Structure 1
């Protein structure tokens, strides 16, 4: 693999989602954990990549109306955490985004797709059914209102790993299990490589004692993907940013290399 680098990675703040820690990792002690729902901008000489898109913008006003009483009551989101507002704060027009890595089709990763309808969407082939209706079980994983505005867009369904720019700087990594098309992302930055776990892991503790979690569709595949992520981190000497983990969010400057 060639080894180009992206110019920088910009983490964009998002909503918070309060869930039970025991549901995030088999064997974890029960108790509340407030997960972060971030998105990421990766600047490359050949394009601007968005990794995931967070919650639907209207959830900032009334999450219960958007997601229902049970789930919506667990959401904390301000208008400034909408993806379009975060892009504006980063000085990026939605039309500047050339690629969107959709790590998988769960609602907390697809809510802002409507803001970047002209981008190329990169999705693991296992989750294709959520877009084209070819698999009812996979389609049921997604929120239809998130997918509908971009259903006719430029989609690339990825079989295996995918090097976005052909230079190793941004690589979508096939990590099936959580969903059939779940992915993580390798970003090579000027200060070194970084792995964005996306939902291959939900808490950093998952890297210390690998175990699947309650919502994984195929638990054996999810565990194998987690072991693959850990192995890549060792081989590449790359930190893993467990993107939902609140403690990792607090360490974001170290991961992104933006600290002076």
Structure 2
């Protein structure tokens, strides 16, 4: 594989979801954990990639009205954590985003897609039914209100791994199990390779004690994908950012918080 390099990655802050740690990883001690719901921008010579879409903007005003009392999580979100405002704070117009990688179709990854309907969307093929209705079971995993505004967008349903720009800089990595089309994203940066886990893992503890979690649609696949994530990190010498993990956010986000106010292409975070 040709080794390219993205210019930089910017982490965009998002909502917080409080859930039971035991539901995030089999065998984990019970108790509340506040998960981070971030999104990411990856700047490449050939495009600006948004990874995931976070929560719906209206959830900042009334999460219960947005998602229903049966959500099963406490939502903490400010208006400034809406995706459109996070993009603006990073110095990016929604129109600058050329590609959107959706790691899977759960509601906490699709809420802001409406802000970038012009972009090219990439989704693991196993989750396609949430977009085109071809698989009702998969469609039930998603929130219709998030996908309806972008159903007619330019979609690519990825089979297996997908090298987005053909140079190894941004690779969508198949990690089925949490959902049928779940993916992670390998990003090569000037500072070194970084694996954005998506929901292949919810807590960094899952990398030390691989185990599935309660919401996985296929527990055997989910466990195999966890082992693959660990193996890819070792093979590529990549740091793994378990994107929901609050400790990983505290550890990694400060180094990737600089936006594009100094101008696109002027350096890397």
TM-score, normalised via structure 2 length: 0.94
The equivalent of 1:32 in structure 2 is 32
Q: Secondary structure in 2 aligned to 1:223?
A: helix
Structure-2 change in CA distance of 1:169 and 1:120 (3 Å): same
Deviations 1:51-82 (Å, cap 9, x if unpaired)? 00100000000000001113276100000000
Query: Offset of 1:172 from its aligned partner?
Result: 0.2
Structure-2 change in CA distance of 1:84 and 1:63 (3 Å): same
Q: What residue number does 1:159 align with?
A: 159
Cross-structure match for 2:245: 245
2:3 touches 2:169 (CA, 8 Å); kept in 1?
Answer: yes
Matched, 1:142 2:142: yes
Task: Work out the CA distance in 2 between the residues paired with 1:208 and 1:72.
Answer: 27
Question: What does residue 71 of structure 1 align with?
Answer: 71
Matches within 5 A, 1:1-260: 1-71=1-71, 74-253=74-253, 256=256
- Matches of 1:136 and 1:13 in 2, distance apart? 32
Conserved in 1, the CA contact under 8 Å of 2:17 and 2:76? yes
* 1:252 Cα deviation after fit: 1.8
What secondary structure sits across from 2:68 in the alignment?
Answer: helix
Unpaired runs of 5+ residues, structure 2, are: 259-267
| CA deviation profile, 1:127-155 (whole Å, cap 9, x unmatched) | 00000000000000000000000001100
Aligned with 2:213: secondary structure? coil
Does the aligned pair in 2 maintain the 1:64–1:72 contact within 8 Å? no
Q: What CA distance in whole angstroms lies between the structure 2 residues aligned with 1:155 and 1:254?
A: 32
d(CA) in 2 for partners of 1:165, 1:96: 17
Question: What's the counterpart of residue 264 of structure 2?
Answer: none
What's the CA shift for 1:254? 6.7
The CA deviation at 1:191 is 1.1
Deviation larger for 72-81 or 120-129: 72-81
1:108-129 deviation digits (Å, cap 9, x = unpaired): 0000000000000000000000
Size of the alignment, in residue pairs?
260
In structure 2, relative to structure 1, the CA distance for the partners of 1:6 and 1:31 (3 Å cut) is same
SS at match of 2:104: coil
The TM-score normalised by the length of structure 1 is: 0.97
